[in-house]
Amino acid sequence: MSANRLLWPLAALAALIVLNVVVTPSFLELRFQDGHLFGSTVDILRNGAPTLLIALGMTLVIATRGIDLSVGAIAAIAAAVACTHIASGGDAITAMLLALGLSALLGVWNGFLVTVVGIQPIIATLVLMIAGRGLAMLLTEGQIITVSDDLYSQVGAGFLVLPIAILISLAALAGVALLTRRTALGMLIEAVGVNPEASRLAGVRSRTIVWTVYVFIAVCSGVAGLMISSNVNSADANNIGLWIEMDAILAVVIGGTSLAGGRYSLVGTLIGALVIQTLTTTVYTIGVPPNVTLVFKAVVVIAVCLLQSPRSAALLRRPARAEEVAAR
């Protein structure tokens, strides 16, 4: 069942890679130099790390029937906090801890609006999506803050054979997978997402669970913001994490987790994030004019989502079966 759900996203990923190889035959080539791996695929992993990290948090939020639109704004705030601190002479570790602390606090705010005040998640997080950019502007005083700190630039641009950023994201993915599947957290999150009232009556602490999930995604967003800003050694309040919420939500949806909440798939999200990032790269490499890239992206996403829907699956099944029989 779950393998089946991952079929189309995997196919989309494979198709994108084939397309890239056709256009740029050197696409899959990897070079090993100065203890680093280089190549287009490595770039995709490095650039996709922030999206993957946020999509990871988004998977859990969506599993509880929620959504978080404020992730891009939180990323911008985290970057702004870290860079202003470093620019004013602070050390990188403190700067990053400050940034993540503030991110967590913003997550507490989102969680408060959703669980205690009872505002619909899409509206509750829209507040911070809009206001957060303003807060980031306030912190940077409207300037693009550039920093030069070796430790700080490691987060987004550093390598330990593979880019450090993707290692962080993959470690987070593995950590969350272990945490939710080895404890009862995953099952309780799904229960709250599928039927909140039944879960409440069964004694599940749904408020705590949902709240925690919003704090978690905020911290993920904060780390993602640090990665993006460290990669370019600057904090641009206007552009860091811009539209990343859309990429993250798309990654989750492509990965087969339903926006209606409930069953989720972390592996699906990983594949979804790779599809999104490969797509972005492809758009550049095959030379789609920049002004229509978003349209191109939309077409691919709609295609994948349509292919996954039960109705189109039923439509495809009949001819597909005939082919299977013929193949045997």
Partner 1 sequence: MRGISIGFPGVKALSAVDFRLFPGEVHALMGENGAGKSTLIKTLTGVHTHNTGEIRLDGAQVSFTGPGQAQEAGIATVYQEVNLCANLSVAENILLGREPRRFGRIDGKATRARAAELLARIGLAIDPGSTLGSHPIAVQQLVAIARALTVDARVLVLDEPTSSLDAEEVAELFRILRVLRDDGVAILFVSHFLDQVYEISDRMTVLRNGRLVGEWRTEELDRMALVSAMIGRELGALAEVERRGERHSPGADVVLRAEGVGRAGAIAPFDLDLHAGEVVGLAGLLGSGRTELARLLFGADRADTGRLVVGGTPVRVRGPRSLIARGVAFSSEDRKADGLVADLTIRDNLVLALQAARGWARPIPRRTADALVAEFIGKLDIRPADPDAVIGTLSGGNQQKVLLARWLVTRPKVLILDEPTRGIDVGAKAQIQKVVADLAADGMAVVFISAELEEVVRVSDRVVVLRDRRVVGELRGGEVTVDAVMTRIAAHPEPTAVAG
Comparing CB distances to partner 1, the nearer of 114 and 204 is 204
Comparing CB distances to partner 1, the nearer of 184 and 316 is 184
Comparing CB distances to partner 1, the nearer of 182 and 318 is 182
Comparing CB distances to partner 1, the nearer of 128 and 215 is 215
- The greatest distance separating any two alpha carbons of the chain, rounded to the nearest whole angstrom, comes to 70
> What residues make contact with partner 1 under the rule CB under 8 A?
182-185, 187-188, 190-191, 194-195, 197-205, 209, 262-263
Q: How far is the CB of 189 from partner 1 (least distance, A)?
A: 9
Q: How far is the CB of 215 from partner 1 (least distance, A)?
A: 15
Comparing CB distances to partner 1, the nearer of 2 and 26 is 2
Q: How far is the CB of 104 from partner 1 (least distance, A)?
A: 19
Q: How far is the CB of 5 from partner 1 (least distance, A)?
A: 13
Q: How far is the CB of 62 from partner 1 (least distance, A)?
A: 14
Q: How far is the CB of 202 from partner 1 (least distance, A)?
A: 4
Comparing CB distances to partner 1, the nearer of 46 and 65 is 65
Comparing CB distances to partner 1, the nearer of 28 and 260 is 260
Q: How far is the CB of 210 from partner 1 (least distance, A)?
A: 12
Distance separating alpha carbons of residues 174 and 167, to the nearest angstrom: 10
Q: How far is CA 164 from the centre of its chain?
A: 16
